[in-house]
Amino acid sequence: MSRLIIISNRLPFAIEKTEEGLSIRQSSGGLVSAIKSYFERPDVQSIYFTEKIWVGSMDATEEDWKAAVAVNTLPNNFITEPVFPEATLYEAYYNGFSNSTLWPLFHYFPGMAEYKSDFFDAYRNMSQLFAEKIAAIYVEGDVIWVHDYQLMLLPQMLRERLPDAAIGFFLHIPFPSYEIFRLLPSAWKRALLHGMLGADLVGFHTHDYVQHFIQSCKMILQVENQFTTISYKDRLIKTDLFPIGIDYQKFRDAITDEATVGIATSLEQKFYNQRLIFSVDRLDYTKGLEYRLDGYDLFLTRYPEWQGKVVFILNIIPSRDLISAYVKRKSRIEEKVSAINGKHSSLHWQPLIYRYKHLSFEELCALYQTADAALITPLRDGMNLVAKEYIASCIDKGVLILSELTGAASELSEAVLVNPTDVEEVADAINTALNMHLIEQRSRLSDMQRRIAEYNVFKWTTEFLSCLKETKEEQEGLKINLLKEENMVVIVDEYSAADKRCILLDYDGTLSPLQRLPSLASPTTELIELLQQLTEDKKTEIIIISGRDADTLQHWLGAIEVTLVAEHGAAVKRRGAAWVEQATMASEWKDKIKPMMQLFVNRCAGSFIEDKRSTLAWHYRNTHPDLGFNRSRELRNSLLQLTGNTPLQVIDGNKVLEVRLMGIDKGSTAMNLVRSMNPDFILCLGDDTTDEDMFRAFIEGAHTVKIGRGNTAAGYTIASQKEVYPFLRRFVQKVKQAELQG
Ligand code: GDG
């Protein structure tokens, strides 16, 4: 039984001072309607919470809040916990860093972003206020869900105070590509990513945003990832897409709602014999309102047959009128509206109706239901719920013209998709929409409606919260499990009792400490002796499984009675037998890949190529750490492109990128060898990402040990390579002891 704490910048209501006193007004917006819908429907909540708490800032003093609460009723399906920031702090945090830095940058308007350190300081201080508030109300077991770009630092601040809490973070706006994100000053971008990675689950609307986020984390924080799981500071963090949905049924119910039907009927009568186009947006440069108006203007010019037969209702919602860029934009839009009406209207017809005010829910739904087309063309939009609401509201007609640069476009492929800056395309799309046959309109609508009805807001919330719960469980399972004395005793005893034992050992980083140059890692006398002692007992087979080439392994270890695996499995030398090649990379592939790697050798001092029989490796251990890492990401991208649709794979190792044939990895090679031996004791030691394949293959029935920190599929971890020899010596000693006793 736990409680859910939702945190958003604002609470879902504001206080209004009227002549009658203080009243509480509900506010709207995508996030607010999503969470409110979820709270209102306990029947759809598959994860049960004993209480729901909403924490958000309040644009009023604490005294006014208390006075307002005393005379007004708050919703009873959640507890409200307001944060009361000082006005100047809030201003620099909200209008400053949130809306003058992050908002423009994340919506690909870098030219409009302001980089002021006092804005960032306020942003951090405001997050501290939130963190203190939450820490004060948190009780063990609570689930915390932080929302949106205003609070990107908060998850980490909470993590410091509440190390074990379940914390989710959802970004409602786009996460931009790395090239845009990197424009932020270094300390800020690190802080923002570090902040988000304080969460256990980081959610976005689309696959692209997830990929951009992972890419930025890798480039800036140099974290490792496996698919959508990120390893950061010994924690495992999930990131995934959760496209936000709408309360579909609410819009379907509005179709028969009396007040809505009344408004819809009067609209139909007023615009009898005319086609209606509708759009509703906040006043924001990201909404592409000027291009949209240009598109409509061109449509009226290019398709004069529609003169007198079409009306565009453009509804703009007042927003952020304290930021000067917004005020200027409003006047530019109003000038364009007048120009279009001046140019195209007749004495009996006005092609454009412009409103700058809020609509009631009934008015909004009536417009959705009546409009023959919705023209939704933002230049960027995290999702855009209006597009989904319009589709949900259509009864037997309606065409959605949608910008391909919205998150919604990746789900609503049956819309008429346009590039919002392409005025001609927008003009033609309006014509296409108005000429679209009703049968086609209905077919497209029903496909989209099915999808929106299915992945609705309840699904969105439930899937996010379930994934957070699963991530927490997975973290528990993966908690770094240090190999303790008592575990060693058990393993050594099992070894001693077994009749057929197999020990798989990685070479670099496991049997030999990592060296600046691969050639410096030749085995010491101490290692050779240890391996010889282990192999003296014929019940034990040692397999040295390495990424090294066969010649090097043969030269270094060929004289010992061990099985050698070169290049992760491309060549194998069974104990006492000759080398057998499993696969060779055709040389024409190397001819293509090597020049690309050479380019990066030239561009990254200290890096070099290792040309093995079936593998090409680019090492960057000896380079400047930042440069080497950055170059490795660039090379990786280039190699992935080059090897697409070929039987080659690109492997990210420990300070090395390797290209080799698909299907050859330590996991499958180790499994094949072990299967042919059928041992009753298996021990497997490794340090590298390529060893994880082995650990995963052996998850059942083997003792797997990772050397070094970091998330791993291995059962145990030992802190450093220095502990490997003493551990292996215990097996030798145990056998000797047993011989002496028996
Ligand atoms: C962020 C992201 C993402 C609008 N005008 C009126 C009105 N609305 C309602 C709509 C819709 C919501 O507000 C606006 O939807 P958005 O999708 O634009 O949401 P935002 O909160 O502005 O934006 C966005 C969203 O978060 C959700 O994650 O989609 O990309 O920027 O529900 O119906 N409602 C009423 N009158 C209006 O005049 N009643």
The mean pLDDT value of the chain amounts to 92
Task: Give the whole-angstrom CA distance, residue 709 versus residue 478.
Answer: 12
Which helix (H) or strand (E) segment holds residue 368: the answer is helix 361-370
pLDDT in tens, 648-660: 999 888 889 999 8
pLDDT in tens, 629-642: 889 998 999 999 98
Say whether 640 sits in a helix, a strand or coil.
Answer: helix
Tell me: pLDDT of 275 over 70.
Answer: yes
The closest residue, in CA terms, to atom 20 on ligand 1 is 30
Mean pLDDT of the 610-621 span: 90
Quick count: other Cβ atoms within 10 Å of Cβ 700?
Answer: 5
Task: Give the whole-angstrom CA distance, residue 419 versus residue 413.
Answer: 14
Structure tokens at 312: 């565009």
Q: Return the closest-CA partner of residue 685 out of 534, 556, 579.
A: 534
State the pLDDT confidence band at 69, using cuts at 50, 70 and 90.
confident
Tell me: pLDDT of 675 over 70.
Answer: yes
Percent of the chain with pLDDT over 90: 73
- On whether the CB atoms of residues 284 and 324 are closer than 8 A, the answer is no
The closest residue, in CA terms, to atom 36 on ligand 1 is 359
State the pLDDT confidence band at 713, using cuts at 50, 70 and 90.
confident
Q: Pick the residue with more confidence: 435 or 605?
A: 435
Structure tokens at 381: 């939009």
- On whether the CB atoms of residues 560 and 535 are closer than 8 A, the answer is yes
pLDDT in tens, 129-171: 999 999 999 999 999 999 999 999 999 999 999 999 999 999 9
Look at residue 585 in the predicted model and tell me its pLDDT: 58
Instruction: Say how many Å lie between the CA of residue 403 and the centre of ligand 1.
Output: 16
| Phi-psi category of residue 460: left, alpha or beta, with phi > 0 → left and psi -120 to 50 → alpha | alpha
Say whether 572 sits in a helix, a strand or coil.
Answer: strand
Atom of ligand 1 nearest to the CA of 381: 30
What length does the chain have?
A: 742
Pocket of ligand 1 (CB under 6 A): 28-31, 33, 172-173, 244, 280, 282, 317, 358-359, 361, 364, 381-386, 389
Look at residue 720 in the predicted model and tell me its pLDDT: 83
Say whether 348 sits in a helix, a strand or coil.
Answer: coil
Annotate 75-109 with DSSP letters as a single string: PSSSEEEEE---HHHHHIIIIIIIIIIIHHHHTT-
Q: What angle do CA 495, 498, 501 make, to 5 degrees?
A: 70
Tell me: pLDDT of 388 over 70.
Answer: yes
Atom of ligand 1 nearest to the CA of 357: 38
> How far from 474 is each of 407, 467, 478, CA to CA, in Å?
29, 10, 6
Look at residue 514 in the predicted model and tell me its pLDDT: 86
Task: Give the whole-angstrom CA distance, residue 722 versus residue 4.
Answer: 46
Tell me: pLDDT of 257 over 70.
Answer: yes
The closest residue, in CA terms, to atom 18 on ligand 1 is 384
Q: Return the closest-CA partner of residue 97 out of 303, 292, 323.
A: 323
Tell me: pLDDT of 364 over 70.
Answer: yes
Atom of ligand 1 nearest to the CA of 389: 33
Instruction: Say how many Å lie between the CA of residue 394 and the centre of ligand 1.
Output: 18
Instruction: Say how many Å lie between the CA of residue 131 and the centre of ligand 1.
Output: 27
Instruction: Say how many Å lie between the CA of residue 38 and the centre of ligand 1.
Output: 16
Instruction: Say how many Å lie between the CA of residue 386 and the centre of ligand 1.
Output: 6
pLDDT in tens, 236-250: 899 999 999 999 999
Tell me: pLDDT of 457 over 80.
Answer: yes
Look at residue 644 in the predicted model and tell me its pLDDT: 87
Mean pLDDT of the 220-249 span: 88
pLDDT in tens, 277-332: 999 999 999 999 999 999 999 999 999 999 999 999 999 998 777 667 778 889 99
Instruction: Say how many Å lie between the CA of residue 384 and the centre of ligand 1.
Output: 7
Catalytic residues: 506
The closest residue, in CA terms, to atom 9 on ligand 1 is 29
Pocket test for ligand 1, best of 385, 390, 412, 464 (most atoms within 8 A of CB): 385
Q: Return the closest-CA partner of residue 166 out of 322, 66, 49, 70.
A: 49
Pocket test for ligand 1, best of 354, 356, 383 (most atoms within 8 A of CB): 383
The closest residue, in CA terms, to atom 39 on ligand 1 is 361
pLDDT in tens, 510-536: 999 988 788 889 999 999 999 999 999
Instruction: Say how many Å lie between the CA of residue 631 and the centre of ligand 1.
Output: 41
Look at residue 373 in the predicted model and tell me its pLDDT: 98
Look at residue 40 in the predicted model and tell me its pLDDT: 85
The closest residue, in CA terms, to atom 23 on ligand 1 is 30
Pocket test for ligand 1, best of 172, 205, 457 (most atoms within 8 A of CB): 172
Pocket test for ligand 1, best of 28, 411, 456 (most atoms within 8 A of CB): 28
Phi, then psi, of 114 in degrees rounded to 5: -110, 140
Task: Give the global pTM.
Answer: 0.81
Starting at the edge strand found earlier in the chain, the sheet holding 399-403 runs: 352-356, 310-317, 275-282, 373-376, 399-403, 416-418
Minimum mean pLDDT range among 13-22, 397-406, 436-445: 13-22
Residues 6 or more apart from 246 whose CB is under 8 A from it?
A: 33, 34, 37, 385, 388, 389, 392, 452, 456, 457
Atom of ligand 1 nearest to the CA of 205: 28
